[in-house]
Amino acid sequence: MLLQIAGLHAHYGKSHILHGVGFAIPEAGIISLLGRNGSGRSTTLKAIMGLVPASAGSIRLAGEELTGQRPYDIARRGVGYVPEERLIFPNLTVQENLEMGVQAARPGAANWAIADMYTYFPRLIERRDTKAGHLSGGEKQMLTICRSLLGNPRVLLVDEPTEGLAPKIVEVVMEVLLDVQRRGVAVLLVEQKLTIALKCSQRLFVMGQGTIVFAGTPDEFRASPEVRREWLEVA
């Protein structure tokens, strides 16, 4: 397993958000975290990335302990992060934003170039000299994914990549994530659209109240309608 999380706890102030979260991600696999809003999915990604400090537990990448390291050190060790907020540099152009993400080739990991990003998202070529703050929501999402890939990650954490996107852009984003996986990068995906998670994931983890309440393949999930009713559907 490339990324292993065990007994992970995290707090926001006095609020205890994660309660002993544990799961593992294989190399070159897509794993989805499902759950209602507030279940702890985004906090799990932020804790892996070091943006929310873990109060207990272990986060290991290829056997190396990441818990307690700073976010930029975690990124340098091969963890990429696509936040839900689509954090770009609004006063820099698309090209400049991409250049900010470029890191040296990483042994044992896929190597990405800016030209690859323009192949994935031709729309960004047309906008390459545009300030990123003037992009549409879909274009900002494309840019955020590309900038993360240019860090040549071994594992990519992706938070709600299709939120608010037009259906055609959703299809493109999913094809990119599948190609990322084919090129040997593991993907941990937080996604509200169940159809997308079922289509692209090898395994699913359902979160509820800050812990993992289900783990299995898409077929095992389909065979467990009670999990969907109790932990995903909104009454």
Percentage of the chain modeled with pLDDT above 90: 83
Sign of CA pseudo-dihedral 96, 72, 138, 135? negative
pLDDT at 39: 94
d(C-alpha 11, C-alpha 56), whole Å:
10
* Res. 223: pLDDT tops 90: yes
**DSSP H helices in the chain:** 41-49, 71-76, 94-101, 114-120, 122-126, 137-149, 167-182, 194-200, 218-222, 225-231
Interval 13-35: pLDDT, tens? 899 999 999 999 998 899 999 99
pLDDT at 50: 96
Q: Where are the domains of the chain?
A: 3-231
Supply the pTM of this predicted model. Answer: 0.93
d(C-alpha 84, C-alpha 63), whole Å:
28
Whole-angstrom CA distances from 179 to 149, 173, 182 are 12, 10, 5
Percentage of the chain modeled with pLDDT above 70: 100
- Any idea of the CA torsion for 36, 227, 176, 167, to the nearest 10 degrees? -70
pLDDT at 192: 86
pLDDT at 86: 84
* Res. 235: pLDDT tops 70: no
Tell me which residue of 201, 204, 205, 188 sits closest to 80, measured CA to CA: 188
Kindly indicate the confidence band of residue 233, based on its pLDDT and cuts at 50, 70 and 90: confident
End-to-end CA separation in angstroms for the chain: 36
Instruction: Compute the mean pLDDT over every residue in the chain, rounded to the nearest whole number.
Output: 93
Q: Strand 64-65's sheet: what is its strand order? A: 15-25, 3-12, 54-61, 64-65
Q: Which carries the bigger pLDDT value, residue 54 or residue 106?
A: 54
**Residue 97 in 3-state DSSP?**
helix
Bridge partners, residue 18, by sequence:
10
CATH superfamily for 3-231 is P-loop containing nucleotide triphosphate hydrolases (3.40.50.300)
Tell me which residue of 25, 1, 23 sits closest to 201, measured CA to CA: 25
